[in-house]
């Protein structure tokens, strides 16, 4: 059975077509600059990479072009073969604790939740509506980034703020990257051969979050109401003293929007290194003795270690720490720096094993009290699996 996994941005469309349950990728690709001129797309199919420029005025046109490519590359004979389409949706609020089949009511709820994810949910709705027009007979599902975190207990999701903010404005921790934390924790349990486990999953990419997962259920995560909370990220500050915001607003006259931009796009590694948000540039800077990059890396690692330590205590121990996403899978030095800070917990790095990028591997020593693993994430596959299960 063929399942399409879709991630719609406001001007982009990322997709991957799977043959299920074999989980074989038949085609994958990305369409960019949809509706803003000079659009183009890249597709990987039959071991080939195709890049084409093509005017795409909206997401419906993008899906129609995808269908043409599917047919002309003989990936499908007819559209009817695609039985399910799984859509990535960033914010599911406290309505959705799992993947659901999309109907009118679900669509309205996703739209309603746009106030909590103003950049992301409207794009997902656009993608869903366009897919519904093009793939009329397929079942469409919504896979929420927040769903995996819905098992977090109230004492961990509530902020100690006026209670009416929670009641009236839904201010609480929702988390993000849930699809990735779920994928990685399920894979880790598979490797460990049991589900009664305590795991710390570190999704460290440009955006970054850490979760505590007990017996397959998330009990805490570092992102909050928005993805700004928790770890230091490429351009996000992560946890800060909230009073800095009114202080700076008064000092500078910056608006809420300008502050939002500063804490999400001008902070993090970019701000401290004064150079780049990309961890590869930070690594280069450190190699050249750049003081700002050295400081940025120290702060970055400190925060990750803080969260691992916090969740270790919260879970009363841990079976495995998993590293995933761009930095978690590839940044050898960052993994080394993090694990070396954990020796007081009896956690030790196997430097030789750690000398690898993007491969599933045990990277702790035999005598380490907690296993440390690289587990490459695959959010698209998780979306396809969930959709297949629902079908």
Considering the complex, state which of residue 70 and residue 232 has its C-beta at the smaller distance from ligand ADP.
Answer: 232
Binding segment for ligand ADP among 134-142, 149-157, 219-227, 325-333 (CB under 6 A)? 325-333
Q: Shortest distance, CB of residue 283 to ligand ADP, whole angstroms?
A: 6
Q: Does 280 bind ligand ADP (CB under 6 A)?
A: yes
Contacts of 374 (CB under 8 A, 6+ apart): 322, 323, 324, 328, 329, 335, 356, 358, 359, 360, 361, 363
**Phi and psi angles of residue 186, each rounded to the nearest 5 degrees, phi first:** -65, -40
Token pair belonging to 292: 């700002």
Binding segment for ligand ADP among 5-13, 161-169, 321-329, 343-351 (CB under 6 A)? 321-329
CB contact at 8 A, 166 and 159 = yes
**Interacting residues with ligand ADP between 352 and 391 (CB under 6 A):** 357
Catalytic residues: 145
Q: Shortest distance, CB of residue 329 to ligand ADP, whole angstroms?
A: 8
Report how many residues bind ligand ADP under the rule CB under 6 A. 13
Q: Does 206 bind ligand ADP (CB under 6 A)?
A: yes
**Is the bond leading into 21 cis (omega within 30 degrees of zero)?**
yes
Considering the complex, state which of residue 140 and residue 334 has its C-beta at the smaller distance from ligand ADP.
Answer: 334
CA distance 347 to 317: 12
Considering the complex, state which of residue 93 and residue 234 has its C-beta at the smaller distance from ligand ADP.
Answer: 234
Considering the complex, state which of residue 354 and residue 368 has its C-beta at the smaller distance from ligand ADP.
Answer: 354
Q: Does 306 bind ligand ADP (CB under 6 A)?
A: no
Binding segment for ligand ADP among 17-25, 93-101, 162-170, 200-208 (CB under 6 A)? 200-208
**Which residue in 237, 215, 230, 235 sits closest to 318, CA to CA?**
215
> Residue 340's Cα: distance from chain center in Å?
25
When binding is defined by CB under 6 A, the residue of 140, 273, 330, 371 that contacts ligand ADP is 330
CB contact at 8 A, 214 and 315 = yes
**Which residue in 76, 72, 87, 97 sits closest to 15, CA to CA?**
87
Q: Shortest distance, CB of residue 270 to ligand ADP, whole angstroms?
A: 10
Strands, sheet with 40-45, edge to edge from the N-terminal-most edge strand: 48-53, 40-45, 24-32, 13-19, 2-8, 82-89, 139-144, 100-101
Q: Does 178 bind ligand ADP (CB under 6 A)?
A: no
Q: Does 326 bind ligand ADP (CB under 6 A)?
A: yes
**Residue ranges binding ligand ADP (CB under 6 A):** 205-207, 234, 278-280, 325-327, 330-331, 357
């Amino acid at each position: 059975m063929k399942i399409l996994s879709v991630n719609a941005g406001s001007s982009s469309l990322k997709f991957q077509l799977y043959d299920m349950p074999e989980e074989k990728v038949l085609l994958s690709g990305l369409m960019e600059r949809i509706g803003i001129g000079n659009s183009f797309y890249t597709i990987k199919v039959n071991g080939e990479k195709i890049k084409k420029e093509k005017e795409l005025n909206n997401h419906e046109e993008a899906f129609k072009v995808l269908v043409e490519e599917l047919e002309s590359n003989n990936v499908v004979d007819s559209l009817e073969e695609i039985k399910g389409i799984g859509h990535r949706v960033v914010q599911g609020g406290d309505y959705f604790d799992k993947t659901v089949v999309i109907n009118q009511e679900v669509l309205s709820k996703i739209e309603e939740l746009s106030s909590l994810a103003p950049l992301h949910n409207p794009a997902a709705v656009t993608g869903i509506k366009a897919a519904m027009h093009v793939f009329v007979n397929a079942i469409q599902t919504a896979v929420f980034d927040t769903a995996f975190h819905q098992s977090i207990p109230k004492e961990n999701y509530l902020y100690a703020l006026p209670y009416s903010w929670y009641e009236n404005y839904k201010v609480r921790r929702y988390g993000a990257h849930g699809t990735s934390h779920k994928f990685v924790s399920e894979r880790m349990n598979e490797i460990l051969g049991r589900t009664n486990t305590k795991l710390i999953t570190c999704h460290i990419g440009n955006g970054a979050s850490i979760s505590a997962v007990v017996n397959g259920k998330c009990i805490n995560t570092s992102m909050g109401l928005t993805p700004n909370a928790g770890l230091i990220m490429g351009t996000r500050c992560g946890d800060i003293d909230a009073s800095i915001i009114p202080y700076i607003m008064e000092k500078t006259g910056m608006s809420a929007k300008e502050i939002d931009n500063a804490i999400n796009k001008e902070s993090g590694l970019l701000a401290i290194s004064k150079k780049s948000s990309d961890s590869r540039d930070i690594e280069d800077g450190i190699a050249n003795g750049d003081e700002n990059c050295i400081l940025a890396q120290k702060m970055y690692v400190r925060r990750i270690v803080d969260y691992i330590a916090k969740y270790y205590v919260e879970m009363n121990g841990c079976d495995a720490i998993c590293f995933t996403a761009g930095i978690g899978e590839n940044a050898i030095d960052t993994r080394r720096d993090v694990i070396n800070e954990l020796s007081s917990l009896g956690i030790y790095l196997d430097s030789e094993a750690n000398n690898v990028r993007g491969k599933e591997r045990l990277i702790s020593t035999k005598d380490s009290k907690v296993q440390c693993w690289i587990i490459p994430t695959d959010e698209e596959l998780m979306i396809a699996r969930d959709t297949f299960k629902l079908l």
